[in-house]
Amino acid sequence: MIPLIGITTKRTDLQSIMPTHAVSEAYLRAIQRAGGVPVMIPASLSISQMNALVSRLDGLLLTGGGDLDPALFNGTPHPSVYDVDAERDNVEIHLIQQAVQAGFPFLCICRGIQVFNVALGGTLYTDIGSQKPDALKHDWFPGHPRDYLAHTINVKPNSRLSAILQSTNTEVNSLHHQGIHTPADGLHISATAPDGLVEAVEIPDHPFALGVQWHPEWLIKLEPMQSLFSALVRAASE
Ligand code: MN
């Protein structure tokens, strides 16, 4: 059976006559290349609708996008917080809590790793540049190529991530102005940037629960980055 991978979507043009649910094609291609079939999950589902959908899926991909509402993690409001969508926050937090509890395979990217952390009780920097004085530049957007390799990461040996990437040191893109401040209980840090910022987390005793702060979907020409999607699809087919 070909695994069905649910992919979360963002909503755009909410104030216009044609509100739209959308996802970057790069995620879809990465899942298709890995042998899965992507299924877009609307950000407007009720809990019972979401449960009905998830029960037919084999894995989940939480995508990037705007910021979580800082109120969800008692975060410091900041003028740079953008594109907050309370319904999307609720849908994604519920999906993660269910997937963690049920041992359902999932991969979280960028905003996704932040949802992963907040859903389990962790906190975020609402703006790294103004709240972490020793930080590198992580917000290489807009105006930079999506695949620009901005900084290295140190990957923890013996983590799921190091097994997938086959490396403990690699370069990644960096398209985020927020990041994990306090990791939730139960989350293991599996990669950090040179400034100490968390770049990946995982739950070791879960079938597949992994979050990365960078955007591997823009880097799938690099074999280790495509491997992240292949590993998700493989876990979803088991
Ligand atoms: Mn980064």
Angle 215-219-220 (CA atoms, 0-180°, nearest 5)?
115
Cα 145 from Cα 142, distance rounded (Å): 8
Q: Which entry of 92, 108, 110, 176 is annotated as an active-site residue?
A: 110
Distance 228 CA to ligand 1 centre (A): 17
Cα 182 from Cα 43, distance rounded (Å): 26
pLDDT value at residue 32:
98
What total of structural domains would you count in the chain? 1
Distance 176 CA to ligand 1 centre (A): 7
Instruction: Calculate what percentage of the chain has a pLDDT beyond 90.
Output: 91
Q: Which entry of 92, 199, 202, 217 is annotated as an active-site residue?
A: 217
pLDDT value at residue 76:
86
pLDDT value at residue 74:
87
Residue segments in the chain with a per-residue pLDDT below the cut of 50: none
Is residue 219 within 8 A of residue 147, CB to CB? The reply is yes
Is residue 109 within 8 A of residue 217, CB to CB? The reply is yes
pLDDT in tens, 62-101: 999 999 999 999 888 889 899 999 999 999 999 999 999 9
| Residue 108 annotated among the catalytic residues of the structure | no
pLDDT value at residue 13:
87
Distance 196 CA to ligand 1 centre (A): 10
Query: What CATH number is associated with residue 116?
Result: 3.40.50.880
Q: How far is CA 52 from CA 34, 87, 122, in A?
A: 25, 18, 28
Distance 83 CA to ligand 1 centre (A): 20
| Residue 217 annotated among the catalytic residues of the structure | yes
pTM recorded for the entire structure: 0.96
pLDDT value at residue 4:
98
Distance 110 CA to ligand 1 centre (A): 9
Distance 1 CA to ligand 1 centre (A): 36
Cα 225 from Cα 238, distance rounded (Å): 21
Give the range of the structural domain holding residue 13, as residue numbers without chain letter. 4-237
pLDDT value at residue 152:
98
Q: Which entry of 138, 151, 177, 215 is annotated as an active-site residue?
A: 215
Distance 3 CA to ligand 1 centre (A): 30
